[in-house]
Structure 1
């Protein structure tokens, strides 16, 4: 009887430990749907703290699958040559990079305040994953970005960069690197979790292969210093409208 009691106690102890671990994991995990709580609300700081703790623990953020939709530009409705010829800036030349060996999937332009200054180019990698390069010539559209130095611990060709990895509970994922080179803003997306699949080095190597850009406006006046509001966020003029070119609507 004593042995039976010990074994029974052992099962109870194991079950209790498993329950505690699962409860702790469920309590710790934060699934972001949409943009999350708005800045200035009581939930904003707490939500961000839970999210940052999760990213620190596992290396990625858990999000609703709907949050990944913006990283799919579709197939595009216009040939790449037509889209590229309509731009108001010169996109980076990928001929001497690994991108040139990947089949093109889609090329989509985007208009900012009447200027075609944004470009998305998607490629299919040999393993079937989709790689998308986004670039925005801010000298052409006059926009600005503000990036906190502490949020950019990575480097792309010596430039501060940020890696974000988004994982949906159903299995879909997107990893993307963002950085700014002079007046050109970049993002490089991959429809995979580079942390779980150990592809971070590969993604950064692809980003580092991108050559320097040629700005649309070399005579652009010096920008005024960015002003921060009471919440620590940058205060910009009225934001421009972002409109995908009519021929590239999905």
Structure 2
């Protein structure tokens, strides 16, 4: 097993391998080493397209080819393959503060959670961002589930003419009577995030869970939790 790990690590780092070693890696179904265990990542190889940032800016000479390659891989794997550091943009635990102080900064009244599946989760705190003259337009709540998973719910107020534009065509589904998008980003280690986005009236929602493609029914749990939100004004907004 140690020899297999060393050989695979060399492949990932671009080292030159003999034909028998490459055959061995194929026989291992391109498994990725994570500690003492192996996690199966389909089609992973040294030449795989790995996203480590936002990519080329729109209109640049590389933008179209980069976007096409990224979308092709997303369709092939069922997720976007990213660097470990890319996942940090989905981690909010270090940014949260006490909810009472955060709410005072908001420029809108957030949705209540009464009767929703969010109420069964441990509430860790919240974040305000997107500040304007009237206050913050973005409110994110952070929760922990019974298995240690971190689930977030973001509301972005579109009052005052703000808008959100999405460009992808993947992961379409119907949620709460409207169109929604479900996408997954995942690193070679198997760690990842599922992200669900949708819009209702003047609010743009984003919900995330820190689980990748192969983590049980994480996608289904995220969709069910989001679908359980009461309509605006029907749930007491206490957290």
TM-score, scaled to structure 1: 0.70
Match of 2:23 in 1: 15
Residues 151-210 of structure 1: per-residue CA shift (max 9 Å, x gap): 562121121111110111233211110111111000001011145533222111111111
Q: 1:166 to 1:118 in 2, by over 3 A?
A: same
Q: Within 5 A, what are the aligned runs for 1:56-135? A: 56-76=75-95, 78-114=97-133, 115-135=135-155
Q: How far apart, CA to CA, are the structure 1 residues paired with 2:193 and 2:214?
A: 11
| Matched-pair contact (CA < 8 Å) for 2:56–2:66 | yes
| Matched-pair contact (CA < 8 Å) for 1:51–1:61 | yes
The structure with the larger Rg is 1
Match of 1:217 in 2: none
| Matched-pair contact (CA < 8 Å) for 1:73–1:106 | no
Q: Which moved more, 1:93-102 or 1:193-202?
A: 193-202
Aligned length: 200
Match of 2:48 in 1: 29
How large is the Cα RMSD of the aligned pairs? 2.8
Q: How far apart, CA to CA, are the structure 2 residues paired with 1:67 and 1:15?
A: 31
Match of 1:212 in 2: 231
Q: CA deviation at 1:31?
A: 0.5
User: 3-state DSSP class of the match of 2:142?
Assistant: strand
Match of 1:137 in 2: 157
| Matched-pair contact (CA < 8 Å) for 2:190–2:212 | no
TM-score, scaled to structure 2: 0.73
| Matched-pair contact (CA < 8 Å) for 2:79–2:183 | yes
Structure 1 portions without partners, runs of 5+: 1-10, 215-250
Q: How far apart, CA to CA, are the structure 1 residues paired with 2:69 and 2:46?
A: 10
Q: 1:149 to 1:211 in 2, by over 3 A?
A: farther
Q: Which moved more, 1:126-135 or 1:60-69?
A: 60-69
User: 3-state DSSP class of the match of 1:66?
Assistant: helix
| Matched-pair contact (CA < 8 Å) for 2:96–2:124 | no
Match of 1:190 in 2: 209
Q: CA deviation at 1:36?
A: 1.1
| Matched-pair contact (CA < 8 Å) for 1:132–1:190 | yes
Q: Counting helix residues as a fraction of each chain, which structure ranks higher?
A: 1
